[in-house]
């Protein structure tokens, strides 16, 4: 059962390893909004369509999440490194840590696959879920 359709997800910012399955920016709601984690979502991801980089692992989130409709006409991905917010840009907030620090939508490449994830100055890079792990990319990723 798909939780959302590709049409509802809008323009996909990237595709999975197979090159045809669209992957979207999302935000997973943890607990009673104690934290909201930017992540990836796709109808084909199993066992749930929401995969979160959290605690060093790829967590398949079974709770509430929201898909961000990416619009390439009004949004852009800007190169960054070391958790920095690109100068003169306003990053798209995707959530927050339990202590209130903001998290932003990011996109990093791992093994030739572009993956939505989370970034912030305190993270020092862009963290994505891939291959069962939380993978950190410190250089050459993008901030939405």
| Residue 20: predicted pLDDT | 93
| Residue 3: predicted pLDDT | 58
| Residue 1: predicted pLDDT | 40
Q: Which long-range contacts (CB under 8 A, 24 or more apart) does 21-26 make?
A: 23/114, 23/115, 23/116, 24/67, 24/68, 24/70, 24/116, 25/67, 25/68, 25/70, 25/94, 25/105, 25/107, 25/116, 25/144, 26/50, 26/65, 26/66, 26/67, 26/68, 26/116
pLDDT in tens, 104-122: 999 999 999 999 999 999 9
| Residue 8: predicted pLDDT | 66
| Residue 61: predicted pLDDT | 95
Low-confidence ranges of the chain (pLDDT < 50): 1-2
Question: Would you call 46 helix, strand, or coil by DSSP?
Answer: coil
């Amino acid at each position: 059962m798909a939780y959302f359709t590709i049409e509802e997800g809008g323009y996909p910012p990237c595709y999975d390893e197979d090159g045809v399955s669209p992957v979207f920016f999302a935000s997973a709601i943890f607990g009673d909004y104690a934290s909201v984690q930017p992540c990836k979502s796709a109808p084909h991801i199993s066992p749930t369509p929401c995969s979160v980089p959290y605690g060093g692992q790829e967590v398949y989130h079974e709770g509430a999440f929201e898909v961000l409709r990416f619009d390439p006409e009004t949004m852009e991905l800007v190169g960054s490194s070391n958790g920095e917010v690109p100068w003169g840009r306003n990053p798209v907030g995707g959530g927050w840590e339990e202590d209130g620090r903001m998290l932003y939508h990011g996109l990093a490449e791992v093994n030739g696959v572009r993956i939505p994830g989370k970034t912030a100055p305190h993270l020092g890079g862009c963290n994505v879920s891939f291959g069962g792990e939380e993978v950190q990319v410190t250089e050459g990723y993008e901030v939405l």
